Amino acid sequence: MKWRRLNGDKIELPIRDAVEEAIIRETNLGHKLKICIGSDSQVKNGVTEYATVIVFLREKKGGFMFILGDRSSQKMSIKERMIKEVAKSIEIAYHLCDLLDQYKLELEVHADINTDPHFKSNVALKEAMGYILGMGFVFKAKPDAFASSSCADKCV
């Protein structure tokens, strides 16, 4: 399990150091940053593949992301899988939150969960929202959860 960039380059530093290096570089370039963390998963042939992303948004200047892939052969319900995605995002957010506080950066945790009850993922909405908000993070769900539903989705 190694972090990488979108172009496939491996991140050799511990992720906390790589994030701090990126923050310093981008702030020195005059960019105002916001960090969004999200995860997504897909089940293929009985194996659940996960992608967790740290998205660095530069105000009015695009962004970039760091990606972590993971796999599990554990069989689980859709609700369990959604909560597992949220847990992966929270684990990274918790690992980075004091660093982001130090640099006074906004942090959002995105859940790939639909707010529309007609979608299967909605079964985990209340638990996911409570989990994220209970940890003290800003919560976003679909359609506002682009880190999980767009960025991580493309990397799974």
Residue range 79-131, pLDDT digits in tens: 999 999 999 999 999 999 999 999 999 999 999 999 999 999 999 999 999 99
Distance between CA atoms of 155 and 149, rounded to whole angstroms? 10
pLDDT band at 142 (very low <50, low <70, confident <90, very high): very high
Residue 76 DSSP label = -
CA angle, 111 then 62 then 148, to 5°: 15
pLDDT, residue 21, reads 98
Backbone φ, ψ for residue 33 (5° rounding): -110, 150
Residue 1 has pLDDT above 70, yes or no: no
Residue 68 has pLDDT above 70, yes or no: yes
- How many domains are contained in the chain? 1
Is the CB of residue 48 less than 8 Å from the CB of residue 26? no
Q: Which residues span the domain enclosing 135?
A: 3-155
- Which among 155, 136, 134, 116 has a CA at the least distance from the CA of 38? 155
Distance between CA atoms of 24 and 29, rounded to whole angstroms? 9
